[in-house]
Structures are given as structure tokens and as C-alpha cells.
Amino acid sequence: MFKVSLLTSAHLEVLLSLRIDTSEPSVDGLNLAHGAQRNFRKAEDLVCTFFNITCVPQTNPSPVWTWSCQSDRCEKQLVVEGETAQALDACKLLCGEYRVLWPKPTGLVQLGTSIAIISQHAITAELSRSGRELSPKVAELFRGATKLFRDNVVDLGKGVGPIRSVGRSLLIEATITDTETASFKSNTDESYRLEISETTNGRINSSIVAATFFGFRHALETLLQLTIYNDVTQELQILDKALITDSPVFPHRGILLDTARNFISVESIKRTLNGMAASKLNTFHWHITDSHSFPFEVESYPQLTQYGAYTPSKVFTPADIRTVVEYARVRGVRVVPEFDAPAHVGEGWQWAGPNVTVCVKAEPWTSYCVEPPCGQLNPTNGTVYEILGEIYKEMFKLFDSDIFHMGGDEVNFNCWNSTEEIVTWLSNKGLGRQEEDFLELWDEFQTKALNKVEEANGGASLPIVLWTSGLTGKGHVEKYLDKERYIIQIWTTGSDELIGELVNKGYRIIVSNYDALYFDCGFGAWVGEGNNWCSPYIGWQKVYMNSPYDIVTNLGVNLTSDVRAQILGSEATLWTEQVDDSSVDGRLWPRSSAMAERLWSNPAESWREAEYRMLHHRERLVQRGVQPESLEPLWCLQNHGYCYL
């Protein structure tokens, strides 16, 4: 038995990267899976010593193919005798206006025409001497982000080949103006300036100037995209000259993940955040509960998860949530919690009393909700607000978001109408049982719940996001929702006239039109047969072309600077009726990256101009530990321009 102190983390890393196949340990000696064998061959001597076995270094035969840049495309050609091959990634780093940057920078882009070799062991980061000292929290983020950068550089070779440990040093010299801001906010300046140059002593210098940590972090992503693992020379290489100024077009660039219809583990959420960081997305909208399950552990009401979690392990503890929030922060992502109410509530509330929730698991479900199981809060029951208040308090304690999502979609009036307590309440108020009467009831709920949100926020108001719903219906939204207070998240189609009305009335909007940004669409039906409701599957091309500005102008709205400011951005949404840990990555990626370029760059060109960079970015996601869908045969990445129609 060994003491852990004897086993260094380097050993562990290597051991784990081998992914030893334990399914057939009976085979003589160490039984390494295929991938492990390959990794093994490629691993550092360390492993061989550790296992006390002989490692044969893998030597690939000389490549027969080479790539050269012609008319902004890397053309695959046979190596001419006597010449050396150029690796595809090296060619791409030098070819085309934007090389393999994703999303495209929006400012100055001056990129060099030659490559320098760098050493994985000589990557350092420091603050420029002229700048002020960072606050402890920002300094911690700085250390975390630069460490991540180094790890990601080393990972460029993972699964491909060994990295030769020779090359120049790379210094990241950072200037971060705002030395205090460690929380991403809706108005956070994400701009950065990145300059790569060669010093007289041969060092590669990358100078980053950013207003905030969050801009600095984006610059690191861009720098990483200008760094490659060259699989021919087995070196880490970087563009030796670049000047980029960059900032996003849309401030709100998000992904919604539903962790209630099916449970999604923290590990999967972390992979999602890895993909978001790589694509410069900044908002993780956590739809953490729904009628199906209640995985959010509320310390003052442990019954919510005891009754509502699918299993005791399908729970997000406070520690889990803190982990996610910090993991996201260092990756430039804010985590926005949603507590959806008064509909989309059911499992987890059974202990609270008979009239707190209504219609839970009501049958036939088609009469009381949009999908099983039904369930809504009872706005006339005081306990509802007591519990809601505690849930909100817990959320404000754990999350670090300057906006809050109150859900508010798909309230079913028939559900409320079938509950005696509610009907009596309406009658006592002198109200009828028509749509407008139920809207009054809903308004009552929204007002009371909002008070609880503000109470949880220390008595201060903050922007509230609500889904398009009955309350935001045509002609009456202003009756219920104050435009200074509420941001409306659109989930109807991109051609819905309501969008124009909301913008004209001065509301800020987040666009998640289901015909382009509902990534659960296109699979088999889960009630009944055939295909699911919002089929067909949405290809990345359509996602890429889904411009929030175009949506609004196509509805006849004049795109003034005020209107632009109202259109905050978009979120890709992943509702998880038919998704869990096994498939979450493929649904989100690389389509979320297509949206990311739309939101960051708002390119004038079509997806066709972006296709080759997209294919490359998809491979980048794989390197970052994500399991994205494959868009095309790898052949199309190796043969630029030959896969078309």
C-alpha cells in the first residue's frame, strides 16, 4: 500500500490518460484498450518507468500528403520527393483572412505569415508593470485562466502525438484595466487587444490589453486558436505576428440547459462550459427544475429534493452549484438561474400540502398541461410564497448573477379552473373564469413572487427575464410587465409578429426562436410516435444564419441604435425530454458554436464562407473534452472546397 504523497499528480494524470480497459483484466499482464495502447506508445517515459515496462516510441512513416495554401484554401497534394510535408493545421494557420479563428474578430485583424515553435514548458503569464495590482479575486481568476491556457496548449497534442519539448518561450503580458470586477455582468466590457510579436532575444511575446478579466480571457482563447500542434514535426507552433482588436456585437450569448426533465450531471455541465469558453459564449442559463424532477437542493427545505429528485444521487448540492459557478467564472461565463413558475412545477412539492401545487400528474394530461407530468403552483396559497422565498434566497446565495430568470411560460388556465380553492378566490375577488380573469390571477402570482425575489436579493430590484407567454400576449404585455424591469425571452418562431411588438414597445429581448435555437428538435416523438413536435432537426447552417437583427428588421422594425440596444442577444436552448449525460454534448455542439459566431461577429457572409472554419472549430471542441456531433466526413476538412452543393 502506498501513501498518496508518493504518487504525484503527474503519475495520476498519466495513469488516467491511459484509460486502461478493465473489462478484461484476465488477459496476461496489463490489458490496455486500443486507445490506451496508442496513448501508451505516445506517452512520456514517465509511464514506462512507472509501469516498469518497455515502451517503444511510435515513429510514423514520412507523410505522403502535404497541404499548401492556394487562393485561401489549403490544398492537399502529394509530397514531392526531397521536400517536406506541411501539416494541415500549419497550413490553415497561415491561410485565409481569418485563418481558423472562431468566432471571427470584429475589429482589426492583422495576421503574420510565419510560424514559431514554442516550448510547452516555457509558457508564462505576467501583468504588465505599468498596470495596477489586481484584487485578490481577479488575481485568482488571472492565475486560473492562464493555467487553463497552458493546459489547453499541451492538450493540443493529446491523442495525436508526443510534443517535442524544444522551442521558444511564450510570454503573455497582460494589462487589465478594471482590477476589481470578478463577476460577469450584463454590461461587462468583453473587448480585448491582442498583439503577438517576436522579441529581439527570440521570445514570443503576446501582449493582451483588456478592460476586464473577461476580455482578457477571450484574448487567451484567441491566442490559443493561433497555436497548433504540428503532427508532422511534433511541435507546438504559434503564429509569430498578429494584431487583433475584438469585441462582441451582442452582449448576451447563452446556452439554456434543462437539468430537470432528465438529470444532467455536473461533469456534463463542465463539458458544456468548456465548449462555451472555446466559443466565447458568456451566459449559462440553468433551467434547474421543472415538473418532472427537482434536483436543486434547498438547504431550508430538504424535502424538495427528497421528494423531487429522480434518485438521491441526481441532486445538485450547494457545493455542486458553487463548483459550477466558479468553473464557469474562470471561463468567462455567468451562470443565470431560472426558477420556472407558476407552471412547470410538480415533483418535489408533494410534502408541502394538498393545495400548494395543483393538477400534479393530472389525467388526462392533455387537458392540463403541454406534456406529462402536469403541475402548477396555486397563486392563492400563502405557503407557495413562503417556499418560493426560501428557494430564491438559496439561489441568490449560490449563484452570482445580475439578472434572474422567473420562467413564466405555458400556464394552463384549465388547471387553475379545475381547482376549487382558486375558483373561490376568483369569485371572492369579483372575477370571472375567462382568460382575462386568469391573467389577473397570474399577475397576482407574478407580483407576489417578484417581491420574494427582491427580498432574496437584499431588497434590491434587478432585471428579471420571463418567457413569452400569456402575460406577454399581443396587445397587453405592458399591462402586466414593466419594460424597465422585465427582459422577454422569445421562444416563438422568428417570424412571430409579437417580437416586433415587444421591441416597438421598448422591451429588451433575448432571442431563442424555436425554429432555429431549440436543439432538442428533430428526433422521435416521446409521447406517441412519429417525430417530435418541433421537427425537423435544425442544421448548423440555419443556426448560423439566425440573425437577431434580421429577425427584427424582417418584422418591419427600424434598426435604430435604441432598438439594437434592446436586442440583447440569443440563447440556444436544450430541453432534455430526450437528452441526458449520454447525448447532451452532441445536441449542443457544434451548433452552439455556430450561434456563437453569429452573436459575437454578426457576419455579413453566409454559412458557406464559415464552413471550413466551422469544421476546424468542431475538432477544437473535441480537444476541449466535448463530444460534438460530426458535421461532415473528415475528408471534407482535409479537402477544403470539395464538399459542396
- Catalytic (active-site) positions: 290, 344, 410
Stretch that binds its own copies, among 211-219, 261-269, 398-406, 416-424 (CB under 8 A): 261-269
Give residues 63-92 in contact with its own copies (rule: CB under 8 A).
63-65, 78
Considering only residues 254, 342, 372, 379, which one is a binding residue for its own copies as defined by CB under 8 A? 372
| Residue 496, CA distances (Å) to 308, 369, 502, 602 in order | 36, 23, 11, 21
Examine residue 166 and tell whether it contacts its own copies (CB under 8 A). no
β partners of residue 243 = 110, 195
Q: 3-class SS at 518?
A: strand
Considering only residues 205, 306, 355, 417, which one is a binding residue for its own copies as defined by CB under 8 A? 306
Examine residue 630 and tell whether it contacts its own copies (CB under 8 A). yes
Considering only residues 89, 231, 340, 394, which one is a binding residue for its own copies as defined by CB under 8 A? 231
Is 96 in contact with 111 (CB distance < 8 Å)? no
Examine residue 431 and tell whether it contacts its own copies (CB under 8 A). no
Residue 126, phi-psi category: left (phi > 0), alpha (psi -120 to 50), beta (remainder):
beta
Binding mask 550-589 for its own copies (x = CB under 8 A): --------------------------xxxxxxxx-xx---
Closer residue to its own copies (CB): 30 or 559? 30
Kindly give the interhelix angle for 607-623 and 591-601, rounded to the nearest 10 degrees: 120
Considering only residues 57, 70, 132, 159, which one is a binding residue for its own copies as defined by CB under 8 A? 159
Examine residue 19 and tell whether it contacts its own copies (CB under 8 A). yes
Closer residue to its own copies (CB): 432 or 633? 633
Rounded Cα distance, 190 and 177, in Å:
12
Give residues 88-117 in contact with its own copies (rule: CB under 8 A).
none
Give residues 336-355 in contact with its own copies (rule: CB under 8 A).
347, 350-351
What does DSSP assign to residue 346?
B
Minimal distance, residue 402 CB to its own copies, in Å: 25
Examine residue 294 and tell whether it contacts its own copies (CB under 8 A). no
Considering only residues 162, 310, 455, 483, which one is a binding residue for its own copies as defined by CB under 8 A? 310
Grid cell locating 645: 452543393
Considering only residues 198, 433, 526, 549, which one is a binding residue for its own copies as defined by CB under 8 A? 526
Examine residue 121 and tell whether it contacts its own copies (CB under 8 A). no
β partners of residue 66 = 77
Examine residue 536 and tell whether it contacts its own copies (CB under 8 A). yes
Examine residue 605 and tell whether it contacts its own copies (CB under 8 A). no
Grid cell locating 204: 514570443
Examine residue 261 and tell whether it contacts its own copies (CB under 8 A). yes
Stretch that binds its own copies, among 24-32, 91-99, 242-250, 481-489 (CB under 8 A): 24-32
Considering only residues 55, 109, 160, 243, which one is a binding residue for its own copies as defined by CB under 8 A? 160
Closer residue to its own copies (CB): 23 or 187? 23
Q: What is the dihedral of CA 23, 24, 30, 33, to 10 degrees?
A: -60
Stretch that binds its own copies, among 108-116, 389-397, 468-476, 534-542 (CB under 8 A): 534-542
Kindly give the interhelix angle for 266-278 and 591-601, rounded to the nearest 10 degrees: 40
Examine residue 157 and tell whether it contacts its own copies (CB under 8 A). no
Examine residue 535 and tell whether it contacts its own copies (CB under 8 A). yes
Considering only residues 92, 104, 241, 292, which one is a binding residue for its own copies as defined by CB under 8 A? 292
DSSP 279-341: TT--EEEEE---SS---B--TT-THHHHHHSSSTTS-B-HHHHHHHHHHHHTTT-EEEEEEEE
Rounded Cα distance, 229 and 158, in Å:
9
Closer residue to its own copies (CB): 554 or 630? 630
Helix (H) or strand (E) holding 176: strand 168-176
Max intra-chain CA distance, the chain: 93
Rounded Cα distance, 517 and 509, in Å:
15
Rounded Cα distance, 50 and 30, in Å:
13
Examine residue 312 and tell whether it contacts its own copies (CB under 8 A). yes
